[in-house]
Amino acid sequence: MKWFDLEYAREIATRLEATRSTDARGRVSFSGWESHEYMTLITAILMATKEIPPLEKSRIVQKAIRTSARNGEVTADTVLREASRLEGRFVTKKKEPFVLASSLSISRFTKLPRFRLSGATITVAANLPPQFFREAERLRLDSPYSTRLETPDRYSRIRIAVRAASSEAAGEIALSRLDLFRAFINLFVNRSYGTPIMPTWPKPVNRVLAGPFHTLHEPSGKAASSTFWYSPSFDSEWSPYDLQKHEMVCISFIKNAYGALKKVSYRSKLEEWLVQYTKALDEADWYSSFLRLWNLLEQLVVVGRGDGNDVAIRRASFVWVDALFQRKVLKLLKEVRNQTVHSSRPETSEDLVLVHQLRNTVEMLLEFHLTRGGQFSSIEDVRTFLSHPPDERDLKIQLEITSAALRYRSRAK
């Protein structure tokens, strides 16, 4: 682990140390609401390796803080040393098999093959195996929200098998792979079959959603943990999407898209973007979908701190054939985005139209990264590529100037 900002870490640790106290029995505690704020800030600026899931990182840092306190003093150095030790122990810990059981809003009669996706094995079927079903039902019925967590009968069931160092890490990894799998399917459906019929009430743009309830199991089906995950915004009225008539084309798309993803040098980042894409369109709140899509667009075109206000628009429009027209569309959408952030107004059906307009560009950019990303050695090269002018004449002029500069430098040697 390492500090994102060492000086800031030292200041926060000093402030947290000032809230520490020890009772007569040697038990350590922190007083005041600000101590929780300091612990959260320390967790945020301590950077872990990619192998550590966010929830596991939080547990490691919180334990490192309390161990430092018991050993004498909370400082940036003592917290970092203990957190690094715990991180190393977690990374080298033997990984055990786990299976997440969930559901998808596609017809239960859909027949998909077993997929291998970023270290996970994904199985879609009409039903869960008996032992998985019994254990999942037991956990659901033990919950005070059992009725709200009931999965619609018409949904497909899905199992995501992963290997992880803990049940908590397994849950996070499996849920991420579930979202990545859904991202491929939703990208296929959204791009191939266009805008859905205008709903009469706010509902997600995505047709393929995760079910309301997710449980973690051992490979035998026995519950691996009493912990479960659920979707509080899930609506049982969301009908399953009929993927049966597109099964073979969808299967081919997923295989080709994942094959292309594996060739991209910034693969982990692109996986994150795909997950963000499907989560943005899971929202029934169209305001939220729109804002999350705009944030994703800026990441897809690699906007940096020093870039001007219109850089994202210029780079995003580059992937369109009619780049100049799309630039005008994106300028309008950016103005809507600014108004949405700084004002409050009632949601209307027009908001869904704006979401779809922005979605089109985000999906074009995702397809660009999947189909062309393997040509670039780094994400910085992508930024350079998208920064070119879209006009062919301007590109030729730029090429001539670059060639002239290359000839000049060659003679200089």
Does residue 248 share a domain with residue 128? yes
Asked whether 101 and 132 are in contact (CB, 8 A), the reply is yes
Please indicate, yes or no, if residue 280 is contained in any of the structural domains.
Answer: no
Does residue 325 share a domain with residue 215? no
Q: What is the DSSP annotation of 353-366?
A: HHHHHHHHHHHHHH
pLDDT for the residue numbered 366:
97
Does residue 342 share a domain with residue 361? yes
Does residue 301 share a domain with residue 230? no
Does residue 117 share a domain with residue 248? yes
Please indicate, yes or no, if residue 13 is contained in any of the structural domains.
Answer: yes
Please indicate, yes or no, if residue 49 is contained in any of the structural domains.
Answer: yes
pLDDT for the residue numbered 344:
63
Number of domains in the chain: 3
Does residue 146 share a domain with residue 61? no
Does residue 106 share a domain with residue 224? yes
pLDDT in tens, 156-178: 999 999 999 999 899 999 999 99
| CA-CA-CA-CA dihedral for 211, 216, 221, 222, to nearest 10 | -130
For the chain, residues with pLDDT lower than 70 are 194-200, 341-349, 412-413
pLDDT for the residue numbered 353:
85
Please indicate, yes or no, if residue 413 is contained in any of the structural domains.
Answer: no
> CA nearest 103: which of 193, 228, 261?
228
Q: In terms of C-beta density within 10 A (0-12 exposed, 13-18 middle, 19 or more buried), how is residue 153 classed?
A: exposed
Please indicate, yes or no, if residue 407 is contained in any of the structural domains.
Answer: no
Please indicate, yes or no, if residue 182 is contained in any of the structural domains.
Answer: yes
Please indicate, yes or no, if residue 412 is contained in any of the structural domains.
Answer: no
Domain of residue 73, residue span: 2-92
